[in-house]
Amino acid sequence: MIDGYKKLDTSKIILITGGAGFIGFHLSKALLDKGMFIIGYDNLNDYYDVNLKYNRLDILKQYPAYTFIKDDLVNRESLINVFKKYHPNIVVNLGAQAGVRYSIENPYAYMQSNMVGFLNVLEACKKSNVDHIVYASSSSVYGANKKVPFSTEDKVDNPVSLYAATKKSNELMAYTYSHLYKIPSTGLRFFTVYGPYGRPDMAYFSFTQKIMKGEPIKVFNNGDMYRDFTYIDDILRGIENVLCNPPKEDENGVKYKIYNIGNNKPEKLMYFIAILEKCLGKEAKKEFLPMQAGDVYKTYADVTHLVKDFDFKPSTPIEEGLEKFVDWYKGYYNKEL
């Protein structure tokens, strides 16, 4: 464990960008339940069903300690004003344009949200002298790497999508600001996060929708792919561990750290589909297709540093996680499964 490990400090004010997103919603709710003051910041874009984002916000707005600001990270003045008004101690940057495949269709959206937006967050943190910035990176940064499991000590110089390139760039930008301005920063490489209130563009969600409608699902690389599926509750525990524990100075005097947060157990795509079919009680029609541009064959998280520093390892099996997702889906969409 980290020397002097600190539990959550309820006196801290936390700004969560992407606050109406999948992870942002769950993190906000978990922290509000623990008595923390949360500021959510989100542009509520229509990359996927906006109603889902508003429904998440309806839940969060029931908490007196929750404040929501609708604006874009690219709007630098708005962001600076939020920092001036609320003086956040900790910033969790989850705001970004998500999706690997969509980055091929709309690259400019990624450069604006993920690059310019993150620069604005870093500048605001610099001017406000925050205690800690925690930001979302991605398993996508490992790109074409052949060695598995993926370790944070591996080089990540071969991204195979613009999305991955922006996330790697975020890590470099964070390091630079940590070095120049002494801002403690922690990057979290998330591995295929899933669960209730998730993103409809993710495979498990879109598969569920199509299976229920009797429509075929697209199975890429003929099903020969592996993913380190990580249930949302494990992601939350990982984030909560790092929030009030900014990194110590490294050998260069920089307070900077990267962690993988993954289940440390890659599952074959066809097995994942079989479990989903079992939970739904319905077999999927399948359309087998070649590998998509920007996709990787296998993701597999080495969580050695997470275990060493926080005595924590994600462990929710997909059988349990998918059952919880299907139960939520059934209730949310009033589906008789």
Q: Write out the DSSP string of 166-215.
A: HHHHHHHHHHHHHHHH---EEEEEE-SEE-TT--TTSHHHHHHHHHHHTP
Residue 148: both structure tokens together: 């598995």
pLDDT band of 221, cuts 50, 70, 90: very high
pLDDT at 140 over 80: yes
Which of these is catalytic: 163, 194, 204, 300?
163
Check if 142 is active-site: no
| Residue reference for tokens 């980290």 | 2
Report the alpha-carbon angle 264-175-257, nearest 5. 35
- CATH number, domain with residue 188: 3.40.50.720
* CA–CA dist 16, 62 (Å, integer): 17
Number of domains in the chain: 1
In a domain, 320, yes or no: no
CA distance 247 to 2: 9
- Asked whether residue 329 is domain-assigned, the answer is no
**What pLDDT is stored for residue 3 in this prediction?**
79
Say whether 107 sits in a helix, a strand or coil.
Answer: helix
Contact status, residue 166 vs residue 115, Cβ threshold 8 Å:
yes
Q: How confident is the model at residue 335 (pLDDT cuts 50, 70, 90)?
A: low
Let me know: does 214 contact 289? Beta carbons within 8 Å.
no
256-299: pLDDT as tens digits = 999 999 999 999 999 999 999 999 999 999 999 999 887 888 99
Q: Is 227 helix (H, G, I), strand (E, B) or coil?
A: strand
Cα-atom radius of gyration of the chain, to the nearest Å? 19
- Flag whether 243 is in a domain: yes
Mean pLDDT confidence for 87-112:
90
Between CA 276 and CA 16 the distance in angstroms is 31
Mean pLDDT, residues 93-119 taken together? 89
Confidence at 2, pLDDT banded by 50, 70, 90: confident
Check if the beta carbon of residue 230 is closer than 8 Å to that of residue 192: yes
This prediction's pTM: 0.95
Q: What is the pLDDT of residue 337?
A: 44
Residue 288 lies in a domain: no
> Span 235-243, mean pLDDT?
97
Mean pLDDT of the chain: 94
pLDDT range class, residue 17, cuts 50, 70, 90? very high
Structural domain of 174: 13-192+232-264+299-315
Contact 24, 94 (CB under 8 A): yes
pLDDT above 90: residue 82: yes
208 in a structural domain:
no
278 is a domain residue: no
Note the residue count of the chain. 337
In a domain, 2, yes or no: no
